[in-house]
Structure 1
Amino acid sequence: MKIKSVFSDSFAKYGKVLEGYDIKPLIEELKKTDKPAAAVIYEPHSEMEKLPVAKEFSVNAYGGLAVEIGYCNGFNTKLNCLEYHRGSELNIPEQDMILLVASLADVKKGFIHSKKVEAFRVPAGTVVEIYETTLHYAPCCDVRGNEVSDGFRVAIVLPADTNTDKEEIKIKNWEDKLLWAKNKWLIAHPSTAEAKLGAFKGILGKNIDLVN
């Protein structure tokens, strides 16, 4: 699979790189968080919320909205699922990583083919905004030829309360079937653990693996 740069014109429909933020203290705090060697963990909140840059993200990047700052760490080379939120997501990686993304416009009643997915490399320390119309999921390790990095730590900024427990709802349309957590709509590949737990099985085609 061709891996493009997050700085390329090809990424413009999915998001953009944000400049002007001092994220060195955030990266230092991120380095203190756990990084599993053979799994992926996600925490919606962290000590990074206490840093000055957290207020800057809220006031500048989100126009004054309340935000949460957590992290997604571990080891992963597969697509597995695609999710989206109401409101952009910011990713700030400790080391180079790869994002697998697609466009929400290509989802038809909950279904999308994995051939619509594109891969973009994000350099360490880059603040990348992922638009709310962009499908994404857990980051992937950096892959260069036959070389795979030893994992990733990525700070995740989202509108407050995203990915927390959702309220029970009455299904009104196909999108309601995708609601997996608060402000989190999820489409799973049938082969995944998420699908076995009840997530909507809407990814058609193969489950992309960057090492195969």
Structure 2
Amino acid sequence: MRIQNVADDAFRRYGKVLEGYDFTELLKEMKHTPVPEDVTYVPSVEEMEALPVAKELQNKGYGGLPIEIGYCNGHNKKLNGLEYHRSSEINVAVTDLVLLIGHQQDVEKDFTYDTSKVEAFLVPAGTAIEVYATTLHYAPCHVNESGFQCVVVLPKGTNTELTFEKAAEGEDKLLTAKNKWLIGHEEAAIEGAFNGLKGENVGID
């Protein structure tokens, strides 16, 4: 798969590179987070949310809405699934990483998606990006064998456990957590996911 860069014009349909933030302290805090052989995701880390940049992200990034700051770390080379939210997601790459992404508009009426439409973008270490709400995404892929580390900023409560009954049909069947609609690939066998990704479980070499 051809890997593009988030600085390329092609990324503008999916999101944008963010400028004007000082992530020095946030990147330091990320040094304390584990990098497992698989993938781990923690929605909210109190120490990160107490940093001055958190208030900046809340006000500039989300117009004053309450936010959560967590991380996604690990080792991964495959797509496995695609999720979307009703809000943008801000990512800060602590290491070089690659995002496999697509457009929500390409999801079919039966909630299936053709993985041949996925594109790959390198997010260089130290780069912050906004991933638009209509961009399908999931866990990053690592570039170096030491794994990847990525800060994840979202509206507060996103990706936490559902506290209501969801319908078994329609778009509701994609809900696996609050503000998280997920389409999985059968090869990945993601618990609770609707396996609507059709085609190869694409990845990077």
Tell me the TM-score normalised to structure 1 length.
0.93
Match of 1:42, as an amino acid? Y
| Alignment correspondent of 1:42 | 41
Does structure 1 retain, via aligned residues, the 8 Å contact 2:166–2:175? no
Matches within 5 A, 1:124-203: 124-142=125-143, 148-171=144-167, 174-194=170-190, 197-203=191-197
**Aligned-pair CA distance for 1:31:** 1.1
Q: How far apart are the structure 2 equivalents of 1:198 and 1:149?
A: 30
Does structure 1 retain, via aligned residues, the 8 Å contact 2:30–2:94? yes
Encode CA deviations 1:86-125: one digit per residue, 9 max, x unaligned: 1100110111100000000000121001101000000111
**Aligned-pair CA distance for 1:170:** 4.3
Residues 134/34 of structure 1: CA separation in 2 closer, same or farther (3 Å cut)? same
| Alignment correspondent of 1:145 | none
**Aligned-pair CA distance for 1:172:** 7.6
Match of 2:40, as an amino acid? I
| Alignment correspondent of 1:58 | 58
Match of 1:210, as an amino acid? I
| Alignment correspondent of 2:119 | 118
Does structure 1 retain, via aligned residues, the 8 Å contact 2:182–2:193? yes
Q: How far apart are the structure 2 equivalents of 1:172 and 1:41?
A: 27
Q: How far apart are the structure 2 equivalents of 1:182 and 1:199?
A: 14
Matches within 5 A, 1:17-96: 17-36=17-36, 38-46=37-45, 47-96=47-96
| Alignment correspondent of 1:102 | 102
Q: How far apart are the structure 2 equivalents of 1:6 and 1:99?
A: 9
Does structure 2 retain, via aligned residues, the 8 Å contact 1:91–1:154? yes
Q: How far apart are the structure 1 equivalents of 2:189 and 2:28?
A: 32
Q: How far apart are the structure 1 equivalents of 2:116 and 2:99?
A: 15
Q: How far apart are the structure 2 equivalents of 1:190 and 1:173?
A: 19
Encode CA deviations 1:51-79: one digit per residue, 9 max, x unaligned: 00000000011011110000000100110
**Aligned-pair CA distance for 1:198:** 2.7
Match of 2:164, as an amino acid? E
Does structure 2 retain, via aligned residues, the 8 Å contact 1:68–1:157? yes
Structure 2 residues not aligned, in runs of 5+: none
Does structure 1 retain, via aligned residues, the 8 Å contact 2:83–2:183? yes
**Please, what is the CA RMSD of the aligned residues?**
1.1
Q: How far apart are the structure 2 equivalents of 1:166 and 1:179?
A: 8
- The SS at the match of 2:139 is coil
Q: How far apart are the structure 1 equivalents of 2:164 and 2:58?
A: 28
Q: How far apart are the structure 2 equivalents of 1:3 and 1:202?
A: 24
Q: How far apart are the structure 2 equivalents of 1:103 and 1:139?
A: 16
Residues 169/209 of structure 1: CA separation in 2 closer, same or farther (3 Å cut)? same
- The SS at the match of 1:193 is coil
Encode CA deviations 1:124-182: one digit per residue, 9 max, x unaligned: 1111000000000001112xxxxx44201111000000000113334285211100100
Does structure 2 retain, via aligned residues, the 8 Å contact 1:31–1:153? no
